[in-house]
Amino acid sequence: MIHSLVSWNLKNSRVCGKSGSQGTLTGVGLSIGYPMALNGSPSGLAVMSAAPEGPAEKSGILPGDIILAIDDRSTEDMDIYDAAERLQGPEGTSVDLAIRSGSNTRHVVLKRQKVTLNPVRSRMCEIPGAKENSKVGYIKLTTFNQNAAGSVKEAIKKLRENDVKSFVLDLRNNSGGLFPEGIEIAKIWMDKGVIVYICDSQGVRDIYEADGVATVAASEPLVVLVNKGTASASEILAGALKDNKRAVVYGEPTYGKGKIQSVFALSDGSGLAVTVARYETPAHTDIDKVGVTPDRPLPASFPTDEDGFCSCLRDSSSACNLNAAQLFTR
């Protein structure tokens, strides 16, 4: 969620803080993107995710909200890189945002602060009456910073100590981050198979594969949750797990961000973004502008937090309930 575009040079999302890929940032704790793929509106900039316990989340800003202005400067024609620079600043300084949530517009003043990024939240969900997979390990991955792969491994280890034998990996509203971390996390769940192809106009240029060396959990049943805020590195991971039949993917089509671009500075101070390659899933699906299509939908009321997830699994009468007995079946 809070990341630098290092080794994952795509123009369609940007973080609002410094040193995000290193595990901490100074800013407001937002990941932003262009709203076209989120709600069909070309106006403003879309909130893709908010850092847990960051200034934006504490103020009630949610994924899907639209930033209309930053310090009274309209974002209608603002580049996300410009927006990110405006949202950054010294710790303790403030920034005024005009936010549209649905049909409501409000002003929010956020004070910039250092945010420590733990990219993983996890918990064990126990399902009463379930014969198999009665203990499900839920792992919420919010960003691909340099701590991501290690944090996922640690979460798996702790959940196994509670006799968890199946997992749910939640990538909803994860807008990506460090490409190498995405590859390493795929290797945690896969002991073999192609993870992603890098292609250009001449065809396949490079192939990333799992070789079993870094595998931690290649056999337990696995579900992956995605939505329209799942982008870039998250889409690569979801596509790899789906195409290799390692996981059942639930949710809605993802953001669709699969271009690799280089930005060239022009003499007038502007920049020119040139597409140099693209990412394809193991099944050679070009996800750009299309996204990864899930195997199954989620109920419209399905929650995005770990407590709500467990409640929906436990309560068979709930509108958001998923049949635990069929959860991991393709």
What amino acid positions are annotated as catalytic residues? 232, 257
Long-range own/partner contacts, residues 71-78 (CB < 8 A, 24 or more apart):
71/95, 71/96, 72/96, 75/44, 75/45, 76/43, 76/44, 78/45
- Going by their DSSP bridges, the two strands 222-226 and 24-33 should be labelled as unpaired
Q: Return all residues near 56 (Cβ < 8 A) that are at least 6 apart.
A: 28, 29, 30, 47, 50, 110
Distances, alpha carbon 20 to alpha carbons 9, 15, 130, 173, 242, in Å: 15, 8, 41, 16, 28
Q: Are 177 and 233 in contact (CB under 8 A)?
A: yes
